[in-house]
Copies of this chain bind each other. A is one copy, B any other.
C-alpha cells in the first residue's frame, strides 16, 4: 500500500455532508428520504407478489464468515428431548416438552444494518455527535432509531457479478457509480432517486460456499471511493445501500490503502444506512430469468438496546 499520509479528514474535506439537515437530534439520516411516497413507489414495483428473504444463516456449525477482528455467532442448545430423557428438564403440566436454545454473537451478526454511529473519524459521529457517546453503549446514532423506523421502499437489484459475466467478483475488484448506472441500463431497470440499492457481487455466496476464505489479508470487492461517487449517492438521495459483502465496499482504497472510506463518506457524512452481508443470489437468479430487478424492500433490524447494529432478515416482494 501507498505510504501517502492522506487521512479521511483531508480526503473528505470537500465531500458532501448532511449533518444538521434533519435537525440536531436526527439519528436515522437518509432513512428520512423514505416516506409514504417512497413506500408507495416500492409497492408499485410489485408484480407477481412473490417474496424473497435476504438474510444469511446465523450461527452455522462451520462458523459464519465475519469481518477480521470479529468472531462467528454460535448456537447452543439449552433444552432438547435428550435433556428431558436425562432428567434435566421435566414436562409441563399436561405433557408438553420443549427445545430451547441460545445464541451469542456480534450485534452485527449475519445480515445486518450498521447504526449510523458505528464508525467515525475526527472524534465525531453522524450528525456531529461526539465519539464519546459510544462509550459503554450507543447513546446517539445507535441502531434503535433505525429499528424503530424500519426500512421500506423501492429496492433495485444491481447484479454486478452477472453484468461482468462472473460468478463472483474477485478479491479487491472495484465498482464505481458508473458501473451501477451501466448495470442498471443493461438490466433495463432505472435507479430512481431514493431507491434502496442492492448491489450483488456474488461474494457472500463465494464465502458461504467455501470458494473464498477470510484471511489476514482479506480484501473484499466492492464500491470504491471517489468524490464523484459520493456526490452521486448524495444527489440520488440513496437511503440505504445493501450488498452481499461483509462491509459494503472494497476493503482498502487501491490508491491510498485507506480502509472503509465509504463508511466515512456515505454513512458518517451522508447518513446512508448500510445493510451488509445480504443474500442476493436467489433473487438474482430469478431476476436474471424474468428481467424484473425492482420491488418492495421491507425490513427492520433487531432493536438492540444501545446497539451499534442489528441483525435483519429483509423481505423483498416483487
Contacts and interface: CB of A to CB of B under 8 A. Distances in A.
A256 interface: yes
A94 interface: yes
A167 interface: no
Interface residues on A, range: 35 or more
B301 A313 contact: yes
B60 A49 contact: no
A97 B82 contact: no
Interface stretch (A7-15, A157-165, A174-182, A197-205): A7-15
A49 B57 contact: no
Contacts of A94: 6-8, 11, 121, 253, 256-261, 264
A95 B7 contact: yes
Query: For the complex formed by this chain, how many copies does it contain in all?
Result: 4
10 contacts: A6-B94, A11-B94, A57-B144, A60-B305, A76-B102, A81-B134, A85-B132, A94-B259, A147-B313, A310-B313
A232 interface: no
Interface in A36-78: 36-37, 39-40, 43, 46, 48-53, 55-61, 63, 70-72, 74-78
Which of A77, A81, A82, A117 gathers the greatest number of chain B CB atoms within 10 Å? A77
Contacts of A58: 302-305
A187 interface: no
A259 B118 contact: no
A57 B305 contact: yes
A233 interface: no
Contacts of A313: 147, 150, 299-303, 310, 312
A263 B241 CA distance: 39
Contact of A86 (B132, B147, B150): B132
A75 B107 contact: yes
B260 A55 contact: no
A51 B94 CA distance: 40
B132 A70 contact: no
Given A76-B76, A315-B150, A88 B137 contact: yes
Contacts of A75: 107, 137, 304-307
A102 B106 contact: yes
B299 A259 contact: no
Given A53-B150, A74-B71, A305-B75, A119 B134 contact: no
Interface in A131-169: 131-139, 144, 147-150, 152
A108 interface: yes
B8 A61 contact: no
B101 A103 contact: no
A72 B313 CA distance: 22
B80 A135 contact: yes
A120 B315 CA distance: 29
A98 interface: yes
Nearest to A312: B313
Given A89-B136, A95-B121, A96-B119, 16 more contacts: A55-B303, A61-B306, A71-B74, A75-B306, A76-B102, A81-B82, A81-B134, A83-B137, A86-B137, A93-B257, A94-B260, A95-B258, A99-B308, A101-B309, A103-B107, A300-B314
